[in-house]
Amino acid sequence: MSVKGHRFHPSILREYDIRGIVGRTLTTSDALALGRTLGTISVAAGGRVAVVGYDGRHSSPMLEEELCRGLASCGLFVLRIGLCPTPMVYFAARVLNASVGVMVTGSHNPPEYNGFKMVLNNKPFYGENITRLGEQAMRGVWVSGAGGVVDVEASDAYVARMLNDYTSKSGLRVAWDPGNGSSGNILIKMLRRMPGDHTVINERVDGSFPAHHPDPTVEKNLEQLRDIVLSEKCDLGIAFDGDADRIGVIDGKGRVIWGDQLLAILARDVLSAMPGSSIIADVKASQVLFDEIARLGGKPKMSPTGHSIIKSRMAEISSPLAGEMSGHIFMADKYYGYDDALYVAVRLVDYLVRSGESIADIRDSLPEMINTPEIRIEVPDEEKFDIVDRVKERVKAANLDVNDIDGVRVNEGGGWWLLRASNTQNCLVVRCEATDQDVLETLKGRVVEELEKAGVADADLENSAGH
- Catalytically active residues, by annotation: 107
Residue 18 zone, left/alpha/beta (φ > 0; ψ -120 to 50; rest): beta
Give the dihedral sign, CA 263/264/265/270: positive
Q: How far apart are the C-alpha atoms of 282 and 313, rounded to whole Å?
A: 11
CB 116 within 8 A of CB 102: yes
Cβ–Cβ under 8 Å, residues 367 and 355: no
The residue type at 334: K
Contacts of 409 (CB under 8 A, 6+ apart): 283, 302, 402, 403, 416, 417, 418
**Residue partners of 98: CB distance under 8 A and separation at least 6:** 47, 49, 50, 51, 79, 92
CB 359 within 8 A of CB 252: yes
Give dist(CA 7, CA 316) in Å, integer: 34
Angstrom distances, CA of residue 54 to CA of 147, 202, 286, 300, 405? 20, 19, 34, 35, 34
Residues 319 and 30: their CA atoms lie apart, in Å, by 36
Rounded Cα gap, residues 126 and 135, in angstroms: 14
What is the distance in angstroms between the CA of the first residue and the CA of the last residue of the chain? 56
Q: What does DSSP assign to residue 138?
A: H
Q: Write the DSSP assignment of 260-320 as a string of letters.
A: HHHHHHHHHHHHHHSTT-EEEEETTS-HHHHHHHHHTT-EEEEE-S-HHHHHHHHHHHT-S
Q: Is 22 left (phi over 0), alpha (psi -120 to 50) or beta?
A: beta
- Ranges of beta strands (E only) in 92-246 are 100-104, 113-120, 123-124, 141-142, 148-151, 173-177, 197-200, 236-240
φ/ψ of residue 310, rounded to 5 = -65, -40
